[in-house]
Amino acid sequence: MEGRRIVDKALGKLYLCATPIGNLEDITFRVVNTLKKVDLIAAEDTRNSMKLLNYFEIHTPMTSYHKFNKKDKGKYLVDQMLKGRKVALVTDAGTPGISDPGEELVRECYEVGIEVTSLPGAAACVTALTLSGLGTRRFCFEAFLPVDKKERQWIIRELQEETRTIVLYEAPHHMIKTLEELGQALGEDRRITICRELTKKHEEVFVTNFREALERYQKEEPKGECVIVIEGRRIADLKREQEKSWEELSLEEHMEMYLGQGMGKKEAMKQVAKDRGIGKREVYQGLLGGES
């Protein structure tokens, strides 16, 4: 990578420490031991993280690192590591670098040759995905939808054609608006699972669709952070739509499109057959009929 230096073992080190997303018992022994041994802990919210540190009797000095001070504090943290200090990064809940400025600190460390390691643990997106009952082999993670109206509309349009399972986060007071927009774009009967208060006492997994979810939350706003897992578009449905769109062209027009792109007649005929989901013989016979 251009501009990236080889990691210098003589420098300090950055530890990305996953913390519980609700239940404090979900922290790993490795994370607890690391938080006790590092020189400094950088936390998204020091007040929130202090509860965790007190619970596990961790007395390591702590400083804040969040989206509002990431530029100046990032320089400070990198400077500390250049002096040989070891720094642990924690977020409010879950794994640092996912939907928070941790990714930028990692990039800054690599640029100056500081070693980075990630201590795995809880992540709300993966926890919700495994609970959803939807496909887990292929999925995409959207975090929170953009606030900017144009960017938000662009992302939602992209999701209309997404065949992988979709995972995104939402705050309870924005749920109705998000469900309305996604339901309108993806179809109100699209299967979804809404996970709320994950790993906590009142954890809830709501297997539903956009229409039913809206009916429920219009009566009573959900409490706690939510993860929405959405079934991807069926590939067979997408293929049928594409085939149907080709049928709006005559065989002659379809052939001419590929011939105009420089394809040979045989190759163009093969591609037309593939597009329309028919055999090459049908294309050949159809074209002959058009010539008579």
Please classify residue 236 by burial: count the beta carbons closer than 10 Å to its beta carbon, then call 0-12 exposed, 13-18 middle and 19+ buried. exposed
pLDDT tens for each residue of 36-87? 999 999 999 999 999 999 999 999 999 999 999 999 999 999 999 999 999 9
Q: Looking up tokens 């913390």, which residue turns up?
A: 19
More confident residue, 284 or 49: 49
**CA distances, 136 to each of 142, 219, 229, 274 (Å):** 15, 31, 10, 29
Q: In the chain, which segments carry CATH 3.40.1010.10?
A: 13-122
Rg (CA), the chain: 26
Query: What's the pLDDT score for residue 280?
Result: 77
All residues at 6 or more sequence positions from 283 whose CB lies less than 8 Å from its CB, including other chains: 251, 255, 269, 272, 273, 276
CB burial string 159-180: b at 16+ within 10 A, e below: beebbbbbbbbbeeeebbebbe
* pLDDT higher than 90, residue 33: yes
CATH 3.30.70.580 fits 13-122, yes or no: no
Tell me the one-letter amino acid at 88.
Answer: A
Which pTM does this prediction carry?
0.79
Q: Within 10 Å of residue 95's Cβ, how many Cβ atoms?
A: 24
Contact 290, 254 (CB under 8 A): no
* pLDDT higher than 50, residue 235: yes
Determine the length of the chain: 292
Q: In the chain, which segments carry CATH 3.30.950.10?
A: 125-233
pLDDT tens for each residue of 244-280? 667 667 788 787 887 888 888 888 888 877 887 787 7
Which of 121, 111, 103 has the alpha carbon at shortest distance from 17? Answer: 121
> Residue 230: in which H helix or E strand, if any?
strand 226-230
The architecture in CATH of the region 125-233 reads 2-Layer Sandwich (3.30)
pLDDT tens for each residue of 96-154? 999 889 999 999 999 999 999 999 999 999 999 999 999 999 999 999 999 999 999 99
Helix (H, G, I), strand (E, B) or coil at 215: helix
d(CA 90, CA 42) in angstroms, rounded, equals: 6
